[in-house]
Structure 1
Amino acid sequence: MTLEQQIAARAKEIHTDGYPMSIGEVLSLYRDGDIDIHPEFQRIFRWDDNQKSRLVESILLGIPIPAIFVSQRDDGIWDVIDGVQRLSTIFEFVGVYRDHNNQLLPPTTLRETEYLPDLAGYRWEVSGPAGRVFTDAMRRDFKRAKLDFRIIRKESDENAKYDMFQRLNSGTELSPQEARNCLLVMLNPRMFDELASLAESSDFQNAVPLSDQKKVEAYRQELVLRFFCQADFGSGDTEMREEYGDYLTRWMRSAAKDYGTRESKIAPELFRRTFRVLNLALGEDAFRRFDGDRHLGPFSIASFEFVTSGVAAHIDKWEQSPPAELRARVEQVWTAREFRDNSGTGVSPRRRVPRLVNRSREFFGR
């Protein structure tokens, strides 16, 4: 197939429309339940009041803001792909926004901004502590302001909106896992809830101490996802054809389709059992380097991949073994050729992960 033929074939799979819409019209859509902004996203990342105030400032001054991307579902409802923070900020400011528990949030009190310093203390309709409230004229002007919408129509390929989300959020301020979390909320919110719950389990948190920055970037949830991805890995030692992050995202999308069925790749009890024995045997030393005398240094992702894959593959064995025996086996990892030859600086995740996962199943099965 030539390049021109490829372009023509792919272009037919995505059908889009684009047109401006007033904020007043969007508010009506939201009140009627005709647009889904996925309030679960607010558990993943959230704008502060300064960011919200800057958006309101931009709308008042007519400063262009990025387009809102939505996908039309079979039932006609619009799924927001990109623009959740912008829309939720507008809805919260106006006082109609409901969170993931369907609770109405209090309206935002604006902060001072660069071009409108007197915006500080203003609210939409009910005055706040400063006694400042938008006038009728200001509210009308705000509701008449236009937002640019790009709509992926329902006859498009079913994966179009997920591909679009990944492209729009590639290279943004979101960490890779924050972007995956948003994507997972659209794909299967129940699976997102499950992974988030496992990331908060005490055995896991005790065994995986992380820096504050890593916590903010949703790294714990990435590790939970990696655990299940590793457990499902069934290929040989050949280097992956794609970057590991892309592989993990693609695997997550596949797992989201099967979650809740007999074919589900997510086994929460296996995760709990694995980290229960690791926490009991090693606690916070589970994935820290062992120098022959003591554990030291930060969390090691290579150690995580090797140890969790091996222990999970033989969980019955290690549950029945004394904690001291598991501790000794984990400490042996750091001098084992299976681990040393396939980890360390210069070994890419594309090469490292397949080899560590496969070798670990042999190492912990002895």
Structure 2
Amino acid sequence: MASQLITDPTKSALEEGTSFGTPSGVEQELTRDIVELQIAEPFNPDDIEVATRSMTIDLLLSRIKAGDIDLEPDFQRRRGIWNERQQSRLIESLLLKIPLPTLYAAEDDEERWAIVDGIQRLTTITRFMAPDSIDETPLRLTGLEYLGSSFDGLLFDDLPSRLKRRLRESELVVHLIRHGTPQEVKFNIFARINTGGMPLSAQELRHALIPGQARQFLGDLAQLAAFKEATANSIRDERMADREMILRFMAFILHNPEEYRSYDFDRFLSDAMRDLNLISDARRDQLRDAFVSAMKSAKAIFGDDAFRKRYRPGDSRFPINRALFEAISVSLAHLSEQERERCISRKEEICTRMMDAMRDSAFEGSISQGTGDPAKVRRRFETVSRIFAEFANV
């Protein structure tokens, strides 16, 4: 090959500090795992409107019951992180008049709010005081630190009237990013303040700030057996890593990689999620079919090595690589059924050619660091699609 070969990519990567055993099951890039959310274009500061409101819990609950506050059912896994004791301690804090940390929300064009920071707190309060409004089992107090065992097992309705009133009239501070604020600026603002005990991932931010059918669509695809089998059930769903992987596939199916010119990969993915909201049901069905075909073909060709780096046959197995996932899945989706079958019939040769590509420094760099760079995007897609074409068209 024309490009210089690197002698030991595995050693090189380890020396750069890459974590191969990541909690999400996805390989980190050499430089950083989560790209900083940056503002790619100038904006008018006057367009930014952040309103700070002090609202009683009663008012917040009325908005939740009316569907005007989105606690986002798809965040159920995140909402369930706190155990009963932790949730009870938060209610105890309110009963003791201890102020809670600020909530952060984004407002849409209909003046509905999506809670971006504070989901656990607000869900706990709602579960205790109005569980039916979020289809949760009522919270019974347990393990309180100061109020004593006499409160153990109590529901909201069991509390004395004065304590129920205290809870209803307690005030929480909400920083609300108004709907007129440009979307990319909203992302940047939340990335800056998103520093709590378990900050949202980039995909969770997208999920919170871009409502619509794309949420359910990505969630449904993440549950497909074809996806789980192709990724060897290794992609964790707690931080929506699975949905981001699928969104990357959709982004490059909807937008030709050869025409990719963006230097803001996060914005590229956000735009793709909005595109998924706008397409027809029939088009979504086509995309689902293309995705399933790509997953099944990748599994048939690469086995448990699908979407993973492999430099030599005897190497240990790497985690899933996002850039490889994009390039392999999209390239396979663009092939006809007959072409995919020909590739499957020559899978050993394809695996060998892919290992050759991994040992090329330019290609290895295109899947390992700065993967949102346009030149690297084009390089990895050109390389992978060329390998498949070599065997699909024989």
The one-letter amino acid paired with 1:357 is F
The one-letter amino acid paired with 2:388 is F
Name which of 380, 386, 390 aligns with 1:356. Answer: 380
Aligned to 1:267: 287
SS in 1 for 2:218: helix
C-alpha deviation, 1:110, in angstroms: 2.4
Normalised TM-score (structure 2): 0.72
Does residue 196 (structure 1) correspond to residue 219 (structure 2)? The answer is: yes
5+ residue gaps in structure 1?
1-5, 127-132
Does residue 298 (structure 1) correspond to residue 318 (structure 2)? The answer is: yes
Q: In 2, distance between residues paired with 1:68 and 1:60?
A: 19
The one-letter amino acid paired with 1:365 is A
Deviates more, 1:281-290 or 1:251-260: 281-290
Q: In 1, distance between residues paired with 2:125 and 2:150?
A: 15
Aligned to 2:14: none
Does residue 326 (structure 1) correspond to residue 347 (structure 2)? The answer is: yes
Aligned to 1:82: 117
Call closer, same or farther: CA 1:211–1:262 in 2, change over 3 Å.
closer
Give runs of aligned pairs for residues 309-348 of structure 1, distance below 5 A. Answer: 309-321=330-342, 323-336=344-357, 340-343=361-364, 347-348=369-370
Aligned to 2:243: 221
Give runs of aligned pairs for residues 152-163 of structure 1, distance below 5 A. Answer: 152-157=177-182, 161-163=186-188
Does residue 70 (structure 1) correspond to residue 94 (structure 2)? The answer is: no
5+ residue gaps in structure 2?
1-40
Q: In 2, distance between residues paired with 1:305 and 1:77?
A: 34
Aligned to 1:142: 167
Q: In 2, distance between residues paired with 1:39 and 1:22?
A: 23
Aligned to 2:138: 107
Normalised TM-score (structure 1): 0.77
Deviates more, 1:300-309 or 1:262-271: 262-271
SS in 2 for 1:122: coil
The one-letter amino acid paired with 1:281 is I
Deviates more, 1:44-53 or 1:260-269: 260-269
Does residue 251 (structure 1) correspond to residue 268 (structure 2)? The answer is: yes
Aligned to 2:230: 207
**Is this contact kept in 2: 1:20–1:148, CA < 8 A?**
yes
C-alpha deviation, 1:72, in angstroms: 4.3
SS in 1 for 2:174: strand
C-alpha deviation, 1:204, in angstroms: 1.7
Give runs of aligned pairs for residues 54-65 of structure 1, distance below 5 A. Answer: 54-65=89-100
Call closer, same or farther: CA 1:361–1:232 in 2, change over 3 Å.
farther
Q: Give the aligned length.
A: 342
Instruction: Kindly provide the CA deviation profile for residues 219-253 of structure 1, in whole angstroms up to 9, marking residues without a partner as x.
Output: 222221222234455466999745xxxx1x31232
Aligned to 2:51: 17
SS in 2 for 1:98: helix
Q: In 2, distance between residues paired with 1:354 and 1:117?
A: 63
Q: In 1, distance between residues paired with 2:177 and 2:261?
A: 36
Instruction: Kindly provide the CA deviation profile for residues 313-355 of structure 1, in whole angstroms up to 9, marking residues without a partner as x.
Output: 3344533426231343133201137855321697443455442
SS in 1 for 2:52: strand
Q: In 1, distance between residues paired with 2:74 and 2:81?
A: 14
Q: CA RMSD in A?
A: 3.6
Instruction: Kindly provide the CA deviation profile for residues 89-128 of structure 1, in whole angstroms up to 9, marking residues without a partner as x.
Output: 11111133434xxxx32211223144455376333335xx
Aligned to 1:277: 297
Deviates more, 1:220-229 or 1:109-118: 109-118
**Is this contact kept in 2: 1:333–1:339, CA < 8 A?**
no
Q: In 1, distance between residues paired with 2:64 and 2:200?
A: 28
**Is this contact kept in 1: 2:127–2:138, CA < 8 A?**
yes
The one-letter amino acid paired with 1:105 is E
C-alpha deviation, 1:47, in angstroms: 3.0
Q: In 2, distance between residues paired with 1:349 and 1:171?
A: 27
C-alpha deviation, 1:60, in angstroms: 2.1
Call closer, same or farther: CA 1:346–1:325 in 2, change over 3 Å.
closer
Higher relative CO (Cα under 8 Å, sequence separation at least 6) belongs to 2
C-alpha deviation, 1:29, in angstroms: 3.0
